[in-house]
Structure 1
Amino acid sequence: MFNYYVAVDWAIANMAIARMTEKSDDIKVIDVPSSIKEMQIYLKNLKGTICLTFEETSTSQWLYTELKEYVDKLVVCDPYRNKLLSEGPKNDKIDAKKLVMLLRAGLLKEVFHSSDKFIELRKIVSGYEDTIKAGVRLKNQRSSMFRSVNKDHKKETELIIDADKFVLGGVDMQIKYYEAEKLRYKNEFARLKKAHPEIKRLCDIPGIADISAVKLVARIVDANRFPNRNSFLSYCGLIKLEKMSGGKSYGKKTPRFCRPLKAVFKTAALAAIDGDNECGDYCKYLIETKKYSDRNARHALSRRIATITYGVMKGNIKYDALKRRNNIERNKMDTSKT
């Protein structure tokens, strides 16, 4: 329990602040112009333990960094879960009032934030992903221009119509810039790998290269925030959750998950299958001995690579390929005996 529970509905122009105490149900709400200094003074003047919350937005990491030293606990909450805020009339003061009620009742879903150095890597990864999306769009646009006149964009370099030539020239110029920008990011990822042993350790895992390793560290930051392996796999979208009621199963549902992490592990599984590594051996073992379908074997391999990643990051240890290969051989021998 805390002496004060405080909720902030932050906007560029104004901030609505709602406050409750541990003993009283009265809610005090103010709406004032936004000022991080005034917010810090407001918190500093409260005598006792403070629990603060605000919703996950584009400014939440900045607010977290600026305010975490002024409170005993800071909860950045998931707005997707706060259905109460959509009921009835809506303005900033009402939202802050409802948010502080949910905070004191312990009904908020916390979103992970940290002042760890790796949280800044998310900005680089986000910039890289935006660059890749823009490059893919440009290349698709170029391809469609050639297909529209029944030409192969891989073999042809020019178009006949003047308007097409004009547009194609701009697209080719942007693609050239995109390739240079992509190379700049790859060089930065190589530098980050040398600078951070955590990234270098992940690169030893089959199927995970420099870019994937940086993405993993940027998204996960601290593996200890997941209580166990299953929580981590659920966050990565690699397992489904069973729906039970009255002792009866109603199937399984896919939890909300981090799509970039799922993409990394799925891609890593595809890259590791044909390689001379323990992950490739494991996939063959599932197909040949356990009679898994190719699809199920790939999915199982994705979970295995994710589990290895979780162990390496949580324990700050190197990946031991020989030990894992021996484990697979031991499993094969146990299967043949039975």
Structure 2
Amino acid sequence: MVILLAMKPSKKRGETMSKEYNHYIAVDWSIKNMAIARMTGKSNKVTVVDVPSEIEDLKLYLGILRGSKILALEETTTSQWLYTELKGHVDRLVICDPVRNHLLSEGAKTDKIDAVKLVQLLRANLLKEVYHSAEGFLELRRLVSGYDDLVKAMVRLKNQRYSLLKTSGLTGEESTGTRLKGTVKQRVIEGMERQLECCKREKDIYEEDFEKLARKHAEIRHQKSLPGIGIIGAVKIVSRVVSPGRFIDAGHYLSYAGLVKLERTSGGVVYGRKNSRYSRGLKSVYKMGAVTAIGGNNTIHDYYEPNYRRKNNVDETSQGN
């Protein structure tokens, strides 16, 4: 199944961070205070300060530094806001994955110590970058996130309603408005059904928004043209991927989508395969899309069906022998 269209070559991972900068800065940001650590390109000395959190003061500090600057922040709930605010004040802004920064978990832990370790990792080019994009795609992600939360709420309500009907001696498949014995049970199921109706109306509004986005963005229409990918799946893909050019090659994208396993090899011996840290939402879209496409009349079905039959014939022949 072709899942990437016009995959553009991108810079190798770490290429931009490995460039020499005049200033290497790391910030450990919290609501009350921020620890700022800095190293220069010519010295291993680290200077660090811990001051009250104020975005304008941080911008002023960055503006005072002369020469090229690279800034590192850890991925947190405030990282997108900081990315938007500070991107124009440095030559390079790196949002890094805290799970991969094992050095930060060793020894004593304070904001200043974390900032010092982070700037050392930055200068050594040992940070695992997390992709961040402009506000436009962030809004698209928020819309998709809201839709996913709504669908989960609907599934939860349907399961609770089904369970309540079953405990009342019914099949669980009864239509809305079914009367139950007992005042409390009836009150509860009526509340569930009202919530479900509200969720359905809200879901329709989200889907109307997705249709508008498809008319506005060629990327969404492009993904929707793939067999098995509907409008909702197309919006989810675009909101997650943003730009295929951020992946080195198709293999890295397949790993991000959870569609391949990573091989574990040492000394020429393969010790098995493991899952990557993939996007579960993206994998779900492609798996559902593949199942839908296989049952339809399209190129995916035409590719899958003869291969499936050939494999079954081989299996039946081997069993017969």
Task: Specify the SS of the correspondent of 1:289.
Answer: helix
Q: Shift of the alpha carbon at 1:226?
A: 0.8
Cα drift, residue 119 of structure 1? 3.3
| 1:242-299 Cα shifts (integer Å, max 9, x gaps) | 11112211111111111101000000001101111001111112212355999xxxxx
Deviation of 1:152 after TM superposition, in Å, equals 2.2
**What is the TM-score with the length of structure 2 in the denominator?**
0.88
1:244 aligns with 2:265: yes
* Structure 1: distance between partners of 2:52 and 2:306: 63
Relative contact order, higher structure (CA 8 A, sep 6+): 2
Structure 1 stretches of 5 or more lacking a match? 295-338
- What residue in structure 1 maps to residue 182 of structure 2? 161
Q: How many residues align?
A: 294
State whether residues 116 and 221 of structure 1, in contact with CA within 8 Å, keep that contact through their aligned partners in structure 2: no
Match of residue 100 from structure 1:
119
Q: How does 1:266-281 map to 2 (within 5 A)?
A: 266-281=287-302
Structure 1 Cα separation of the partners of residues 96 and 170 of structure 2? 52
**Counterpart for residue 109 of structure 2:** 90
2:129 to 110, 125, 128: 110
- Cα RMSD (Å): 1.6
**C-alpha distance in 2, partners of 1:242/1:176?**
47
Post-superposition Cα deviations, 1:44-64, rounded to whole Å, max 9, x if no partner, equal: 110111110101111111111
What does residue 307 of structure 2 align with? 286
Q: Pick one of 72, 75, 78 that aligns with 2:94.
A: 75
User: Does residue 35 of the first structure (1) align with residue 54 of the second (2)?
Assistant: yes
1:160 offset after TM fit, Å? Answer: 1.0
Cα deviation 1:93-146 (Å, max 9, x = unaligned): 111111111101110000011216333210100110111111111111111111
Q: Distance in 2 between matches of 1:144 and 1:290?
A: 42
Which residue of the partner structure matches residue 321 of structure 1?
A: none
Contact 1:6–1:52 (Cα < 8 Å) also in 2? yes
Kindly provide the amino acid, as one letter, of the partner of residue 29 in structure 2: W
Distance 2:202 2:35 in 1: 41
1:55-92 deviation line (CA, Å, top 9, x unaligned): 11111111111111111111100011011111111121
Aligned to 2:218: 197
- Residue aligned with 2:272, SS: strand
- Partner secondary structure for residue 139 of structure 1: helix
Amino acid at match of 1:141: Q
Q: Matched residues, percent identical? A: 50
Give the one of 209, 213, 219 matched to 2:230: 209
1-structure distance, mates of 2:288, 2:256: 17
Question: How far apart in 2 are the matches of 1:256 and 1:70?
Answer: 31
